[in-house]
Homo-oligomer: A and B are copies of this chain.
Amino acid sequence: MSRTTHQLTPLELEIMNILWEHGPGNVQAVAQRLPERDGEPLAYTTVQTMLNVLHRKGKVRRELVDRAYVYTPELKRLDAMGSAVRDLVDRMFGGSAESLVMGLVETDQLTPERLKALQEKLLAAKAARTKGGKK
């Protein structure tokens, strides 16, 4: 067993983001939504190559529709988030998620006030889920 996590590379992630946000699409759809690189868009074949890579790695599924393949995310966004965050927490914050949140505050990316509001919302949501809820 080697690296089970197989973190997404930057460009792979950009493409997955497009698929997660706009739903399944073909090469053209993805290419159109990718932001330009130094004023020039990425070549069609470049995007295609990346989608191929993603497919080979099992991160997307594909299906022939008309002439072109339509790519659909296989990897769940939440799973990608989970491992990306875990990765950062391990590398940079000694494995402590709390440290990451503190870091967010210390580097002025989040104020304690906003954190409080968010936390209350999350707690409320959890309470609701526990009491009434369908899981």
Contact = CB atoms under 8 A, between A and B. Distances in A.
Interface of A: 10, 13-14, 17, 78, 80-82, 84-86, 88-89, 91-93, 97-98, 100-110, 112-116, 118-119, 122-123, 126
- The A contact surface, by secondary structure, is helix
A101 B88 contact: no
Contacts of A100: 85, 104
Most B-side CB within 10 Å, residue of A10, A92, A123: A92
Contact of A85 (B13, B88, B112, B115): B88
B84 A109 contact: no
A91 B10 contact: yes
Contacts of A91: 10, 13-14, 17, 84
A39 to B, nearest CB: 14
